[in-house]
């Protein structure tokens, strides 16, 4: 606490990212990073970039990335005015909270979802009603039939990995024509249906995606949103009141190349979903309960309720997983899907710890 702080800063409750310890090498299964390298085309674009041009500001509009997004989703016939780009999807989400979700009526989001949502709600002083998931951690769209100033949830959800069907999302959109429904698709490529196909039909839909997970570029910081021009304009207004150049020159060229490399995306997602299947089977054989995952992580309850203990013992053995010491979550571990070899090592260690 400092006399120099703005009053509001005293009340902030900042997001705590998964640990990135530097004391030793870990098998890192705690922050949903991709275990495989980014697209070789993205790396090539970085090598070929003219570094002397770093003396010049980048394109404030990020058009090469917007155009790559349009090409990637070309079957949906989008235009540049329907795409927004930002410094990671966290920044995109921050602008969404500021520009589209602050109203007199409360914002709705699930009690168990991305823990950045309450942080942004608090930062921008947005009233929120937190809606509990069902006991089985699925989202019941009927619970969202109440007056609201917006709805946001990840699909697939985090940290559960459970996906909501496109039909349910469409029902939600139809029931809430006067508020924005934000679908945070950070993990969509690992097994859920994208709502981008509904953007042309629904003026109240905003879809947010990131290059951090399925495209293995968490370190580059590129995210984007897709929605009708009216919603995107709000985000551009906020962005141009905050930082004109969210994507640097390297992020622009590498991000565009990564989005255009469909084949690499496909290969990475295939490998991860196969390893996910193997990991779930092995964990179930050890007596773990595993929620049905459509993401690059699994949410699992150890047989004897020793989640926190296992988190610590795995860390001591060089394997990092995520443990949330919060009601409803504290019996579970969230485990990112790594390479086949990393997951075999995890299973080997778990066999010793619970066997
Ligand atoms: C990882 C994640 C993001 C943020 O990703 P960026 O690295 O900021 O692009 C957003 N939403 C959810 C649900 C995530 O898990």
Pocket of ligand 1 (CB under 6 A): 32, 88-90, 114, 154, 158, 184, 186, 210, 212, 218, 223
- Taking 90 as the threshold, does the pLDDT of residue 22 lie above it? no
Give which of 299, 321, 298, 297 is closest to 309, Cα–Cα. Answer: 321
CA 210 distance to own-chain centroid: 7
- What digits encode the pLDDT tens for the residues 307-331? 999 999 999 999 999 999 998 899 9
Q: Calculate ∠ Cα 171-237-97, nearest 5°.
A: 45
Q: Which atom of ligand 1 is nearest to the CA of 211?
A: 9
For residue 130, what are the β-bridge partners?
Answer: 109
Average pLDDT over residues 232-259: 98
Instruction: Tell me 298's DSSP state.
Output: E
- Find residue 297's DSSP bridge partners: 336
Q: Roughly how many angstroms between the first and final C-alpha of the chain, as a whole number?
A: 48
Those residues whose C-beta lies under 8 Å from the C-beta of residue 316, and which sit 6 or more positions away, are: none
- Tell me the backbone φ, ψ of residue 79, rounded to 5 degrees: -120, 165
Q: How many CB atoms lie within 10 A of CB 314?
A: 23
- Sheet with 289-290, edge to edge strand ranges: 289-290, 297-301, 333-336
DSSP for 184-197? E-TTGGGT---GGG
For 198-226, what is the mean pLDDT?
Answer: 98
CB-neighbour burial class of residue 51 (10 A; exposed 0-12, middle 13-18, buried 19+):
exposed
The residue whose CA has the least distance to atom 2 of ligand 1 is 186
27 vs 271: CA distance, rounded Å: 18
| Whole-number average pLDDT of the chain | 96
The fold adopted by the segment(s) 40-260 is 3.40.640
The domains of the chain are located at 11-37+263-354, 40-260
Comparing C-alpha atoms, which of 298, 307, 305, 306 is closest to residue 334?
A: 298
Ligand 1 atom closest to Cα of residue 218: 7
Kindly indicate the confidence band of residue 253, based on its pLDDT and cuts at 50, 70 and 90: very high
- Residue position matching structure tokens 């989202």: 139
Pocket test of ligand 1: the residue of 158, 192, 296, 336 to mutate, having most ligand atoms within 8 Å of its CB, is: 158
Take residue 57 and report the two structure tokens written for it: 């500001």
- % of the chain beyond a pLDDT of 70: 100
Question: What's the pTM value of the predicted model, to 2 decimals?
Answer: 0.97
Q: How far is the CA of 186 from the centre of ligand 1 (A)?
A: 6
Assigned token pair, 344: 């075999």
CATH class of 11-37+263-354: alpha beta
In the prediction, which pLDDT does 241 show?
98
């Amino acid at each position: 606490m400092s006399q120099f702080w703005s009053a509001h800063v005293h009340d902030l409750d900042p997001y705590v990212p998964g640990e990135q310890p530097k004391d030793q090498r870990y098998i890192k299964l705690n922050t949903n990073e991709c275990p495989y390298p980014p697209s070789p085309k993205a790396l090539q674009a970085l090598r070929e970039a003219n570094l002397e041009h770093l003396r010049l500001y980048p394109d404030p509009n990020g058009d090469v990335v917007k155009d790559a997004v349009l090409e990637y989703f070309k079957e949906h016939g989008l235009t540049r005015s329907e795409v927004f780009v930002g410094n990671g999807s966290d920044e995109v989400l921050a602008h969404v909270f500021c520009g589209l979700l602050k109203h007199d009526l409360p914002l709705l989001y699930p009690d168990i979802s991305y823990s950045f949502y309450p942080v942004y709600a608090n930062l921008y002083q947005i009233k929120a009603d937190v809606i509990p998931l069902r006991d089985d951690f699925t989202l019941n769209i009927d619970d969202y039939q109440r007056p609201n100033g917006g709805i946001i949830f990840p699909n697939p959800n985090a940290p559960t990995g459970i996906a909501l069907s496109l039909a349910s999302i469409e029902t939600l959109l139809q029931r809430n024509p006067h508020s924005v429904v934000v679908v945070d698709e950070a993990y969509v490529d690992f097994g859920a249906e994208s709502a981008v196909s509904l953007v042309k039909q629904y003026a109240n839909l905003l879809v947010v995606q990131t290059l951090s997970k399925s495209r293995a570029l968490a370190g580059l910081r590129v995210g984007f949103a897709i929605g009708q021009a009216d919603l995107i304009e709000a985000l551009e207004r906020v962005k141009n009141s905050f930082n004109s150049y969210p994507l640097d020159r390297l992020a622009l060229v590498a991000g565009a190349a990564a989005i255009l490399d469909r084949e690499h995306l496909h290969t990475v997602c295939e490998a991860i979903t196969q390893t996910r299947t193997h990991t779930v089977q092995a964990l179930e054989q050890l007596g773990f309960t595993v929620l049905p995952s459509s993401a690059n992580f699994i949410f699992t309850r150890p047989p004897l309720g020793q989640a926190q203990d296992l988190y610590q013992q795995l860390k001591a053995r060089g394997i990092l997983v995520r443990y949330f010491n919060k009601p409803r979550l504290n019996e579970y571990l969230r485990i990112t899907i790594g390479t086949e070899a990393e997951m075999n090592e995890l299973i080997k260690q778990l066999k010793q710890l619970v066997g």
